[in-house]
Structures are given as structure tokens and as C-alpha cells.
């Protein structure tokens, strides 16, 4: 095995099953990203734009959505399933334009959760930027502002479906003149970060049945959790939802869609969990069997896998600016980054998210050390210790001419941007977008004036 091949395997690059298929190393041990025959040297980009640096890859989103649609459509056909597959992107996962527009251009639809997200949809709609066939699902608590925007867009011709999420919304949304959805709380225990056995979202099966016929009911929706790490846990709630669906369909003939929500996991620790194809096959068969048994037509299948689509489409790069010896721990060194986990990658702190960390330079270095990573804020919680294990990175003695080690945190495209903050008034990373060989700056590094302004200075 060549040295380069060894390190490519060591850092788990170029492996589609863990979403690193477009990452590779060049002969100098620098991290590169391939978009077809375009190649971007991430090390050179950090030299040009500085660190911390967020890099978004819209082409990754486009490819993933195309493949998802292909897989669903292939298996619908193979199983002679009568309904369609419809993808809805949950905007909450990443509302940045460079994430949403590629999805729309590939034929994706949207799911929104607030009046402000819907307002963005309204703007695109009014600018005539949508195919009139696009569908929008509205989840989340319905404030008056949200409700009036839903009605306004419906009156303007958008295919918009508000989802009833609680009993009181029966009154506030019940009079809506368009199609309606209803959210089920499947009440099944699954193994994910959140135990959704007790959830405030959705109606119980009994509550739904107590409603009898709901005018214009089109869709039954559920969403149990994000980052569901066992395949069985993606199917269990669906089985429960299908029990409700077939019964509900008997009293509601307009019902013809089942929405399986989000939750497909990102292998952040780079251990392959299960394939999308295996889940897709089971999803289709589960719905088909339940309907055939109950002699109910096959519904269209809606899916809101958000992280699955967009997490791999962004990486966040930091420089190591100093180090400190750790006396008694599994790790030997603190490596201090020039950004903040607590600010830029908030889930590190909030839900102890694990990440795949790869050197951007010196990735084929022979000597490595066990590290914990610390953020630049003065907060002792601003760190990433890989769940108390360690992160293996090149030793600083390996670096030539006082050069800094740069590290890439992969799969940062889901949730982190909207959760980001300014603890210790640190500036957010510069952000660039890479597509078709063109590099665009989406966000410059904030100046002290700009950060101060956000705090009323």
C-alpha cells in the first residue's frame, strides 16, 4: 500500500458509506475535495481566506438528493408500489440560501416550522422563482402571524399544507380552506439522543380517532427524533403510524399521504450505521403491506430527512494556535483552536455531538499525539474531547517553519449555523461556498464593530 493510500484509509476519506467520498489527500498530505474533475485544496483555501473557515459544498446536496430520489423511485417501481415519493426539505436544518436553493433546483419541496421560515418561502414565491408545483408543509406551533401567512400563500396559489400538531390547533387551523395534515405522536420508545416517549408534539392515536372526519385531511405525519442510530427504530414508529393511517383512511377518503419525518443518522464517528437503501426498502414494504392488508390505496410517501441531505455538505476548519500538556488523562495534549465549539458547532456542547476530525495539512505525518480540542472562549465547557476518548492528530514538532496545523471538522452542515452564537463576543467563521470551480464568499469575518453592534454598542 502506498503511503498516501494508507493515510487516506487512516483518516477514512473517499468512503461513500460514511459520506467522505469527495474528500482525498494530495501528495503533500493536504486535504482536498473533489467535485467531478474539479479539485479544491482546503489547505490553500485556509491560506487565502484564513481560519476559522466554514466551507459549504452545494454540489454535495444536489448529488445526495438526486440519489435519494433515485433510490426511492427504484424501489417503488420494483415493489409495484402505487403511490409516489415526495421529498420535503426541513428548512430548520439549515436555512442558508446556498443550502435551500440547490434542493429546490433538484425538485425538492419544503417543510417550514416558523413564520420567519415561511416568509422566506413567500419572498421566493413572489419573485416568481418557484415552479408552481412546489409543495410546502407547515409544522411547528402556529402563531397568528404564521397562520395568516399560511392563508395568504394559499390564496396566492401555493400548495401549502399546515399540520395540526395539537388539539388546540384543531380550532385555529380547522377552518383553513386548503389541504390539512395531522401529526401523530407514535408513542414508541426509540434509542436516540432524545427519548421521545414523552413528547409535546403531535396528537395521540386516540385523540386523532376522536376527531372523526377532518375536512380536507390529506396527510398523516410523524417525526420521532433526529440521529436515530438503529434501523429498527426508524421502522417501529412507521408501523404504529400505519396502524393509525389505515384506520383513519376509512373515515377520511381524502387522506393519501404518509410523511415519515426526519431522523436518518449521520455517521459522525465514521462508523457506518446502515444504508439509506435498506431503510427505504423497509419503509416502502411496511407501508405497502399495511395498506394491502387493510385494502386501502397506497399513499404517496413523504420524507423529511434533513441532516442526511445537508450535514455532509459543509466542513469547518480551524487552526491550532497553541497547545498545553495534559497530565493525567487519555489525551496527552490540549490543542487550542482559533474558533469556538460552543459558538460555531454548538451541538458539541449541547448534545455532546461527536465529529469526524481530519488534518488539513500534515495528514501524512508519521508522528501523532492524542489530543483534546479546546475552543477560544474562556469557558471550560468550550471543548471537544470525543466523548472522553481522544482525537489523534499530528504532533506540533512535525510542522515546519512555525506553520500551524489546521483541522477540518466534517459534516457540520446540519443545525450548527442557526444555533451559532457569540460567547465571549468571538467572531463567527468566514464562510465560503464552492461550486462548479467557483469560490464565493458568503460571510466575511465579523469585525469588532459588527459583533459589538449586535449587542447594542
Ligand X SMILES: Cc1ncc(COP(=O)(O)O)c(C=O)c1O
For ligand X, the binding residues (CB under 6 A) are 90, 93, 111, 139, 223, 226, 261-264, 304-308, 414
Asked if residues 441 and 432 have their Cβ atoms less than 8 Å apart, the reply is yes
What is the nearest approach in angstroms of ligand X to the Cβ of residue 418? 12
CA atoms within a 13 Å half-sphere pointing along the CA-CB vector of 151:
12
Nearest-approach distance from CB 263 to ligand X, in angstroms: 5
Whether 293 contacts 395, CB under 8 Å? no
Residue 245 contacts residue 286 (beta carbons within 8 Å): no
- Residue 311 or 357: the one with the smaller Cβ distance to ligand X is 311
Residue 231 beta carbon to ligand X: minimum distance, rounded to whole angstroms: 15
The residue among 33 and 91 lying less far from ligand X, judged by its C-beta, is: 91
Nearest to ligand X of 222, 245 (CB atom): 222
Q: What 8-state DSSP symbol labels residue 425? A: G
Based on CB atoms, which residue is closest to ligand X, 26 or 199?
199
Q: Which of 40/222 has CB closer to ligand X?
A: 222
Helix-strand-coil split of the chain, %, nearest 5? 35, 25, 40
Helical residues (DSSP H) of 31-105, grouped into ranges: 42-49, 58-78, 97-105
- Residue number, nearest CB to ligand X: 262
CA distance 183 to 201: 8
> CB of 88: closest distance to ligand X in angstroms?
8
User: What does each C-alpha distance from 4 to 7, 23, 26, 31, 198 come to in angstroms?
Assistant: 5, 13, 8, 11, 49
**In the complex, what is the shortest distance from the CB of residue 114 to ligand X, in angstroms, rounded to a whole number?**
12
- Residue 29 gets the label, from left (phi > 0), alpha (psi -120 to 50) or beta, of left
Nearer to ligand X, 90 or 186 (CB): 90
Cis omega (within 30 of 0) on the bond before 52? yes
Min dist CB 97 to ligand X, Å, is 19
Which cell is 178 given?
Answer: 386548503
The H-or-E segment that residue 418 falls in is helix 416-419
Strands 438-443 and 180-183: unpaired
**Shortest separation between residue 360's beta carbon and ligand X, angstroms:** 26
Nearest-approach distance from CB 93 to ligand X, in angstroms: 5
CA 321, chain centre distance (Å): 30
Nearer to ligand X, 237 or 306 (CB): 306
Indicate the residue among 385 and 414 with the shorter CB distance to ligand X. Answer: 414
Whichever of 93 and 433 has its CB closer to ligand X, that residue is: 93
Is the Cβ–Cβ distance between 155 and 199 less than 8 Å?
no
Q: How many residues does the chain have?
A: 457
CB of 306 to ligand X, least distance (A): 3
**If we measure between CA atoms, which residue out of 43, 47, 50, 57 comes closest to residue 394?**
43
Query: What are the two backbone dihedrals, phi and then psi, of residue 15, each rounded to the nearest 5 degrees?
Result: -125, 105
Q: Which is nearer to ligand X, 218 or 223 (CB)?
A: 223
**What's the closest the beta carbon of residue 21 comes to ligand X, in angstroms?**
20
Residues facing residue 89 across a β-bridge? 110
Amino acid at each position: 500500500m502506498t503511503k498516501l493510500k494508507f493515510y487516506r484509509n487512516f483518516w477514512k476519506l473517499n468512503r461513500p458509506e460514511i459520506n467522505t467520498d469527495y474528500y482525498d489527500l494530495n501528495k503533500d498530505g493536504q486535504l482536498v475535495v473533489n467535485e467531478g474533475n474539479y479539485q479544491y485544496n482546503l489547505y490553500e483555501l485556509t491560506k487565502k481566506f484564513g481560519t476559522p473557515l466554514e466551507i459549504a459544498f452545494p454540489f454535495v446536496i444536489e448529488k445526495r438528493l438526486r440519489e435519494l430520489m433515485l433510490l426511492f423511485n427504484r424501489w417503488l417501481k420494483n415493489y409495484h408500489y402505487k403511490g409516489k415519493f415526495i421529498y420535503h426539505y426541513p428548512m430548520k436544518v439549515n436555512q442558508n440560501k446556498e443550502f435551500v436553493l440547490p434542493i429546490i433546483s433538484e425538485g425538492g419541496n419544503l417543510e417550514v416550522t416558523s413564520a420567519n421560515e415561511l416568509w422566506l418561502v413567500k419572498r421566493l414565491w413572489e419573485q416568481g422563482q418557484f415552479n408552481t408545483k412546489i409543495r410546502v408543509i407547515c409544522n411547528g406551533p402556529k402563531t397568528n402571524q404564521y397562520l395568516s401567512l399560511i392563508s395568504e400563500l394559499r390564496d396566492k396559489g401555493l400548495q401549502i399544507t399546515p399540520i395540526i400538531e395539537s388539539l388546540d390547533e384543531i380550532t385555529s387551523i380547522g377552518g383553513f380552506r386548503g389541504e390539512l395534515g395531522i401529526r401523530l405522536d407514535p408513542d414508541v420508545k426509540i434509542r436516540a439522543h432524545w427519548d421521545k416517549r414523552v413528547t409535546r408534539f403531535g396528537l395521540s392515536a386516540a385523540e386523532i380517532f376522536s376527531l372523526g372526519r377532518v375536512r380536507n385531511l390529506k396527510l398523516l405525519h410523524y417525526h420521532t427524533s433526529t440521529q436515530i442510530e438503529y434501523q429498527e427504530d426508524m421502522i417501529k414508529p412507521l408501523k404504529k403510524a400505519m396502524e393509525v393511517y389505515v384506520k383513519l383512511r376509512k373515515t377520511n377518503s381524502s387522506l393519501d399521504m404518509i410523511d415519515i419525518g426526519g431522523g436518518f443518522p449521520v455517521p459522525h464517528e465514521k462508523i457506518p450505521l446502515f444504508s439509506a437503501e435498506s431503510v427505504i426498502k423497509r419503509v416502502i414494504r411496511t407501508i405497502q403491506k399495511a395498506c394491502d392488508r387493510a385494502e386501502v390505496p397506497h399513499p404517496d410517501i413523504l420524507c423529511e430527512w434533513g441532516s442526511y441531505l445537508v450535514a455532509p455538505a459543509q466542513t469547518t476548519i480551524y487552526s491550532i494556535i497553541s497547545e498545553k500538556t495534559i497530565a493525567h488523562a487519555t489525551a496527552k495534549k490540549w490543542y487550542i483552536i482559533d474558533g469556538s465549539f460552543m459558538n460555531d458547532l454548538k451541538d458539541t456542547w449541547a448534545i455532546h455531538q461527536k465529529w469526524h476530525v481530519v488534518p488539513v495539512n500534515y495528514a501524512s505525518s508519521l508522528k501523532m499525539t492524542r489530543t483534546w480540542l479546546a475552543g477560544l472562549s474562556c469557558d471550560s465547557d468550550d471543548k471537544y474531547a470525543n466523548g472522553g476518548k481522544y482525537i489523534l492528530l499530528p504532533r506540533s514538532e512535525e510542522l515546519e517553519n512555525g506553520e500551524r496545523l489546521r483541522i477540518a471538522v466534517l459534516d457540520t452542515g446540519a443545525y450548527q449555523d442557526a444555533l451559532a452564537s457569540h460567547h465571549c463576543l468571538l467572531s463567527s467563521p468566514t464562510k465560503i461556498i464552492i461550486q462548479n470551480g467557483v469560490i464565493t464568499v458568503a460571510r466575511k469575518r465579523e469585525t469588532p464593530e459588527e459583533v459589538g453592534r449586535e449587542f447594542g454598542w
